[in-house]
Amino acid sequence: MRVLLSGYYGFGNVGDEALLRIIVQRIRARMPTVEIEALSATPEATSAQYGIEATQRRDTGAVRAAIGRADCLISGGGGLLQNATSTRSLLYYAGLLRAAHRRKKKTMIFAQSIGPLDGIGKLLVRALCSGVDRASVRDSRSLQTLQPLLPGTPVERSADPVFLIDLEPDERDVRDEGLDPISAPYVLVSVRKHQALRAGIPAIARAVDRLARVYGLRGVFLPIGGPEDADVATRVIRACESAPMLLPERSIERSAAIVASARAVIGMRLHALIFAARFAVPFLAIPYDPKVSALCEDLAYPLAPLWVPGGEIPENAAIDASVERLMSEHAALSAHLRGAVGALRIGAERNFEILQDLLDGQDLLDG
């Protein structure tokens, strides 16, 4: 058996690379004879890092050949079926599913967040993804969105595979960054580019400054998404009265260790918040996308967002109250996350059970 993985791979986004790592690890653990190939923006790096075959995602002929070699196309994980970024992106990912289906390959929408989709986006998903064999989505909102669009496809709610990350954060990874979480605790901040961010920069800066001034937490910005995140972080840092630091881009392991060792997290990036939840680090979310709100809902997380991009900017008193609740309820929030993550880890494993069932069915057909 051979599977082809389609996702936002090879772009240096720590969250998406963590997804790919977990997917490869779990497939190998469950189905050691399955061969794995991925579509990547940097196929040589992807191949070297994960020990799999990789194909340039922009090379139409090579992609067509990769689909021809595969028994199953796996679309995901991530937030691929949406047209908030662009309709072109949606056409790319949905078009791959359509091409694989036409060539009678097994297909699976795997651990995805679905949407936002406007009217055109829904029509495209309905038309291009019709005939997909199985689908798993990582939150309840996505389940409600996708089921009506693909009535012939079994759709299940699962959870993000990154909840399965099992590495033990290495204290040396943190200290090598000049951080000492015991004697000099810090708040980890993850921001990203967004059209509404400029209006919210003062609110984020105020929260970082208050954590520094009242609770002694230094702001530490980590660019989960690469250079664009670093540019945005620099703008927030310039608005701060305290002295936050900006870390360079880091590996999956080191990024996870830095998040896990933080006293608290302020996060826009979904996987910064998933790392925080996985390691029971209380956070204040900035839900720039429905998938972030959906994560908070699925965690039944008690704290309201610090700010919702595109919404009303919170008053200073509201920002201060959010920060104070984050810290005064710190132990309870950490305990809540430890309790909530267990169910999501079970949901994350469900993605691979569904995939194994699909591939076993393929084996039977081949026999």
**Beta carbons of 39 and 70 less than 8 angstroms apart:** no
Tell whether the model's pLDDT for residue 292 goes beyond 50.
yes
Nearest alpha-carbon partner for 205 in 169, 233, 236: 236
Both tokens of 178, joined, read: 């000049």
Both tokens of 28, joined, read: 């190998």
- Residue 362: band (very low, low, confident or very high) from pLDDT cuts 50, 70, 90: very low
**Beta carbons of 83 and 120 less than 8 angstroms apart:** yes
pLDDT in tens, 3-20: 999 999 999 999 999 999
pLDDT in tens, 194-220: 999 999 999 999 999 999 999 999 999
pLDDT at 166: 87
pLDDT in tens, 24-51: 999 999 999 999 999 999 999 999 999 9
Mean pLDDT of the chain: 95
What's the residue count for the chain? 367
Both tokens of 27, joined, read: 């497939």
Rounded Cα distance between 277 and 273, Å, is 6
pLDDT in tens, 131-160: 999 999 999 999 999 999 999 999 999 999
The residue with tokens 């302020």 is 266
**Beta carbons of 204 and 191 less than 8 angstroms apart:** yes
> How many percent of the chain have pLDDT more than 70?
98
Give the residues across from 179 on adjacent strands.
Answer: none
What Rg value do the Cα atoms of the chain yield, rounded?
21
Structural domains of the chain sorted by starting position, each given as residue range(s) with its CATH number in brackets: 2-157 (3.40.50.2000), 171-343 (3.40.50.2000)
Rounded Cα distance between 79 and 321, Å, is 32
Residue, of 231 and 365, whose pLDDT is higher: 231
Nearest alpha-carbon partner for 149 in 174, 118, 179: 118
